[in-house]
């Protein structure tokens, strides 16, 4: 708005300035109103082979994404916000500076039939944890993937929550894993590549450390790792599941408890899956990702619960 000058128009100038300020405030209010409020994390809006797993239902895990390399499924990941996905750092070994090789497919239940409501987005850059050493089975195997542009949330594309400081995972807590990885060692998920799910119990960290014991000073299970699965084998994550979520439900919301990282073989006896704990790296994620949502246990609520519905140290990408 143009405000007239000169002594004769002093009053009009003040009024004009006041009007301008009102217009600016009104415009700012409208702009703020247009900023979409992100949906609540960890809550699927609609519910219509991991080794030994079963087909998930459509829209059951709307935060699980396929990270693709040269157009082919490579790893899984989880959506945190409209611009950030979290996955395993080892998925980008030797390709960290080549983000153009990768894309992220969101909202796809079947990779062979992603549907018109799925979204495919390029990768702007990848931020691995600074403590990750790029060795198989290393600690801090976690990376944040910045998408080239914001995605549109829908019933098929929603964020998952991170656990807040109130969350602890005692042994035998039942959680879930999900992914499009091999259904057996060397056997890829058949067409149409339907997203698989598997319920897995948390394994006591001391038990897991003994199972993977490599001698004093060479502990395989570090403080930021979780173990989950079945000591008898037969059910587990496998090749292609790397970076996918270990999910636990607390007070009606799904939390990302861990990231699929490594294991010895797939579903072998006394070789459970190993996951990177999000509780151990929550502060690092919060420093980088604006708007990530945290959830915990409501005061006085009980233990974590899951509804009933369903590789040599090798990275599982």
Catalytic residues, which ones?
90, 141, 242
Site of tokens 């945190």: 80
Q: What Rg value do the Cα atoms of the chain yield, rounded?
A: 23
Q: Please give the Cα distance from 203 to 173 (Å, whole number).
A: 8
Closest CA to 180 of 39, 14, 67, 37: 67
Q: Please give the Cα distance from 205 to 227 (Å, whole number).
A: 7
Q: Please give the Cα distance from 95 to 139 (Å, whole number).
A: 19
Q: How many CB atoms lie within 10 A of CB 117?
A: 15
The answer to whether 75 and 244 have CB atoms below 8 angstroms apart is: yes
The answer to whether 151 and 37 have CB atoms below 8 angstroms apart is: no
Got the DSSP string for 161-191? BEE-TT----TT-EEEEEE---SBTTBPPPT
The answer to whether 184 and 51 have CB atoms below 8 angstroms apart is: yes
Q: Please give the Cα distance from 193 to 203 (Å, whole number).
A: 29
Site of tokens 């990302």: 256
* Backbone dihedral region for residue 295 (phi beyond 0: left; psi -120 to 50: alpha; all else: beta): beta
In the chain, how many H helices and how many E strands? Answer: 3, 16
Q: Please give the Cα distance from 197 to 310 (Å, whole number).
A: 6
């Amino acid at each position: 708005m143009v405000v007239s000058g000169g002594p004769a128009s002093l009053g009009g100038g003040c009024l004009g300035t006041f009007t301008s300020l009102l217009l600016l405030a009104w415009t700012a209010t409208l702009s703020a109103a247009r900023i979409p409020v992100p949906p609540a994390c960890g809550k699927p809006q609609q519910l219509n082979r991991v080794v030994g797993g079963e087909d998930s239902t459509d829209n059951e895990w709307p935060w699980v994404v396929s990270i693709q390399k040269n157009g082919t499924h490579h790893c899984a990941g989880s959506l945190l916000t409209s611009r950030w996905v979290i996955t395993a750092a080892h998925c980008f070994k030797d390709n960290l500076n080549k983000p153009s090789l990768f894309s992220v497919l969101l909202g796809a239940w079947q990779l062979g039939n992603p549907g018109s409501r799925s979204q495919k987005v390029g990768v702007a850059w990848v931020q691995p944890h600074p403590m990750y050493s790029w060795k198989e089975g290393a600690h801090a195997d976690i990376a944040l993937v910045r998408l080239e542009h914001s995605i549109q949330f829908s019933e098929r594309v929603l964020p998952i929550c991170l656990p807040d400081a109130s969350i602890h995972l005692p042994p035998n807590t039942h959680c879930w894993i999900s992914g499009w990885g091999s259904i057996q060692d060397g056997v890829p998920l058949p067409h149409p590549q339907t997203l698989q799910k598997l319920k897995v119990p948390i394994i006591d960290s001391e038990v897991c450390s003994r199972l993977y014991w490599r001698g004093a000073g060479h502990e395989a299970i570090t403080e930021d790792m979780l173990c989950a699965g079945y000591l008898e084998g037969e059910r587990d994550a496998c090749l292609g599941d790397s970076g996918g979520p270990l999910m636990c439900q607390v007070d009606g919301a799904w939390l990302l408890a861990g990231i699929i990282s490594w294991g010895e073989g797939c579903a072998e006896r006394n070789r459970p899956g190993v996951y990177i704990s999000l509780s151990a790296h929550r502060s690092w994620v919060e420093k980088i990702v604006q708007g990530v949502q945290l959830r915990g246990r409501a005061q006085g609520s009980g233990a974590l619960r899951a509804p009933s519905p369903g590789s040599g140290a090798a990275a599982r990408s």
